[in-house]
Amino acid sequence: MTCDTDILISGGGVAGLTAAAAFGSAGFRVVIVDPTPPVTDENSTGADLRTTAFLQPSQRLLEQAGLWSRLAPFAAPLQIMRIVDAGGVEPEPRVIKDFDAADLSELPFGWNLPNWLLRREMVARLAELGNVDFRPGIGFASMVTRQAHARVRLSDGTSLNCKLVIGADGRNSAVRNAADIGVKTTRYGQKAVVFAVTHGLAHQNISTEVHRSGGPFTLVPLPDQDGRPCSSVVWMEKGPECLRLAALSDADFEAEATARSAGMYGQLKLASKRQVWPIISQIAHQMTAERTALVAEAAHVVPPIGAQGLNMSLADMICLLELAQANPDQLGDAKMMQTYERRRHPEVALRVRGVDALNRTSMLGAPSLRDLRAKGIEALYSLTPLRKSLMKLGLGTGR
């Protein structure tokens, strides 16, 4: 049967748009759909005010996809990952340890960009690719798969045949449900308040995680705003506390955020609206079905710690793209799906467990347990080979 396209991608978020640009740039015919058109302006209703830190391997994929030249002018490099324990009686730094990318290479660990801007530049890149058909406002409805192809019905009533269906449609993935793939979900009773701030002290390209209780308070560098240093913040706490924080006046919120940051960057001033996001951990029982591959949050969700979330997602795409380019005539066949499952699912499971453990450690409230966490940070940092191995593992370049 003649296929209308090589690949159907369900999901027009950052992950799906990246996948479309990557496979399109590699010469594959791609149709990408999403029922919700992407919001590409910071001030528009529904704009995603979170940021994404692309680590080194992900940046290479962005280059292959023709995206990096568009994104680089807006990116803030992440040279140092700083871990701060402020779990004493007062919210003050008592342990500060820096993991410096210079210990591994001449490149920074990664680069941070706003999600709304990523969508803007990625949509513009897709418009340059004649073999990519982006259909915002249209969603995945159902599919029937056969050994040789998949037939997908879309929400506008149209159908198309393709060789591979990629589910990049989030934690409630319609593609995953259609493929009858289950998930294991862990709920922590946490949420995150997400916002941007300016501050008096320069961030010096340092991403800072401040641990006390309830979850980390993470400041990630952004380009300066109106001549002042700027960072994005993810403040994880128990759900009711996050809702309380989000409802505070700007002045009261800034005071509490400054205190929770342990004063690392001086006084914090809001530079954006506040948004609240739920925190869960989730992993699909498998990442493939007949003619179907799951990527990103359709396959795995982790708390926002150590810049693992989207970088795990882009590792999925790197693997899929390598397999597709190695045997284009076998795109989406059983052997390709089996190889993708074998390469990615064990790695994903390991990282989901690892981030789960880190999150639980960051939530510790009892003083004695917080003291133990501080000693653990000291011990991990003091062993140089272990410190370098942890950095490589975080980048996805080693274990």
Measure the CA–CA gap between 176 and 26, rounded to whole angstroms: 25
- The answer to whether residue 157 sits within a structural domain is yes
Average pLDDT over residues 178-196: 95
Model-level pTM?
Answer: 0.89
The region of weakest confidence among 74-88, 125-139, 160-174, 219-233 is 74-88
The string of pLDDT tens digits covering residues 154-167 is 999 999 999 999 99
| pLDDT (average), residues 216-238 | 91
Tell me if 86 is assigned to some domain: no
Both tokens of residue 281?
Answer: 């951990």
Burial 190-229 (b: 16+ CB within 10 A, else e): bbbbbbbbbbeeebebbbbbbbbbbbbbbbbbbeeeeeeb
Q: Does residue 232 lie within any of the structural domains?
A: no
**38-52, 135-149, 254-268: least confident range:** 38-52
Q: Note whether residue 337 is domain-resident.
A: yes
Strand partners, 208: 82, 219
Residue 25 belongs to a domain: yes
For 67-74, what is the mean pLDDT? 94
Instruction: State the residue range of the domain holding 144.
Output: 5-46+116-185+285-359
- Would you say residue 242 lies in a domain? no
Least Cα distance to 17 among 56, 78, 71, 57 occurs for 71
CATH number, domain at 168? 3.50.50.60
- Residue 394: predicted pLDDT: 52
pLDDT band at 399 (very low <50, low <70, confident <90, very high): very low
Residue 52's pLDDT is 83
Query: Does a structural domain hold residue 58?
Result: no
| Higher-confidence position of 78 and 386 | 78
- pLDDT tens per residue across span 292-342: 999 999 999 999 877 677 788 889 999 999 999 999 999 999 999 999 999
Q: What percent of the chain lies above the pLDDT cut of 70? A: 90
54-62 mean pLDDT:
86
* pLDDT band, residue 213 (cuts 50/70/90): confident
How many independent structural domains does the chain possess? 1
Q: Is residue 140 part of a domain?
A: yes
pLDDT for 88: 75
Average pLDDT, the chain: 88
Average pLDDT over residues 185-204: 93
Asked if residue 147 has pLDDT above 80, the reply is yes
Please, which pLDDT band fits residue 280 given cuts at 50, 70 and 90?
Answer: very high
Determine the Cα–Cα distance for residues 118 and 140; give it in Å rounded to an integer: 23
